Structure 1
Amino acid sequence: MDAVVSVFFGIALLVVVFAIATYNSLVKQRNLFKNAFSQIDVQLKRRYDLIPNLVETAKGYMKHEREVLEAVITARNQAAATVKQAAAHPGAAQAMTALAGAENTLNGALGRLFALVESYPDLKANQNMMQLSEEITSTENRVAFARQAYNDAVTSYNTSREVFPASLIAGSFGFTPASVLEIAEVERQAPRVAFS
């Protein structure tokens, strides 16, 4: 009888240790993807801070393109508001979808602005414009890297919470699925080099 009780307690202890280890692993995975999102948040805010300077630089040259400039600022403001909401709920499907939509709108507006810049040689050659364009491109690359790290962390978390028997623990303790962030890449016309 003592052997049966010992085996029962041994098995119960193993189950408890497994449940604790699984729970802690899921918490760690969830915290990793939330931290990864905060890196996206930092880079997007940097980008949003650069955009008004870009528009101000372009305003002096593009007096007849007010509509495009206003569209960029409107899209920037919408994206900045959306990223705040997403930062409050990283991984939530609705928040990630809203952020992706706002970022796609901003990317489209910026794409139109940069296409118009090509029509203004003085603006294109302006030192401030070149520097701001370079900083925005650099920041967009950082956003892409941060988004990749976030999406990897979300995928790892979702995989960890879906595999059996961890899925039993995840379901019991409210570990909900997280959503990846998919933003369309900005399409810019590459500069053409011609040798005469």
Structure 2
Amino acid sequence: MIALAVVGVLALLLLFLVVMTYNGLVRKRGAVDNAWAQIEVQLKRRHDLIPNLVETVKGYAAHERGTLEAVIAARRQAVSAQGPHDQASAENLLSGALKNLFALSEAYPDLKANQNFAALQDELATSENRIAYSRQYYNDAVLTYNNGIQTVPANIVAGMTGFQAREYFQAPEEERGPVQVRF
């Protein structure tokens, strides 16, 4: 009788541990999903600013059609990207196209002095900072979640209940090296 009570108490403790572990993993997975949603919010803000920026530039640099079309195409690809890897690649392509667009402002002093252009450029810079923070927050949440599903005893519960590791938001390989500065 006492042995049966001890076994029952141990079974309840084990069940409690499994439930607590599972709930902790659900919370961590939710944090990752929330962090990804925050990245998407900031990227949408960035994507919404770009058409306004392009329209402002069009009036000053109409013959720079190739640069403007590259920005529009990169934005389109970034808007339709799915998942951290594709999104990172598309956003890096868009960043490169925007750098070319901002380089145009150096060639057109009137554009550089335009208040709308300056305001949009400032808004885009603010968006870039928010995106960088959101990416960092997402990667921190992924680290916490991935560590959670890979450590004992949570890895047992994670394996039984189908929790899968999440992908980090990473820069492409070619952008990880040192920056080359040439004068």
Q: 1:37 to 1:171 in 2, by over 3 A?
A: same
Letter aligned with residue 28 of structure 2: Q
Q: Equivalents in 1 of 2:84, 2:115: separation in Å?
A: 36
Other-structure match for 1:126? 114
Other-structure match for 2:170? 182
Other-structure match for 1:169? 157
Q: Percent identity?
A: 51
Q: Within the alignment, does 1:60 sit opposite 2:59 as a pair?
A: yes
| Per-residue Cα deviation, 1:68-95 (whole angstroms, up to 9, x for no partner) | 100000000110111xx3xxxxxxxxx2
Q: Within the alignment, does 1:110 sit opposite 2:89 as a pair?
A: no
Other-structure match for 2:178? none
Q: Equivalents in 1 of 2:155, 2:68: separation in Å?
A: 49
Other-structure match for 1:100? 88
Other-structure match for 2:70? 71
Question: Normalized against structure 2, the TM-score is what?
Answer: 0.91
CA contact (8 A) 1:72 1:109 kept: yes
Other-structure match for 2:179? none
Other-structure match for 1:51? 50
Other-structure match for 2:128? 140
Letter aligned with residue 107 of structure 2: S
Q: Structure 2 stretches of 5 or more lacking a match?
A: 176-183
Q: Equivalents in 1 of 2:156, 2:85: separation in Å?
A: 28
CA root-mean-square deviation? 1.3
Other-structure match for 2:181? none
Q: Within the alignment, does 1:160 sit opposite 2:159 as a pair?
A: no
Shift of the alpha carbon at 1:182? 2.2
Q: Within the alignment, does 1:36 sit opposite 2:35 as a pair?
A: yes
Question: Normalized against structure 1, the TM-score is what?
Answer: 0.85
How many residues of Structure 1 are paired with residues of Structure 2 in the alignment?
A: 173
Q: Which runs of 4+ in 1 moved over 4 A?
A: none
Q: Equivalents in 1 of 2:160, 2:93: separation in Å?
A: 39
| Per-residue Cα deviation, 1:93-127 (whole angstroms, up to 9, x for no partner) | xx211111101110110111111221111111110
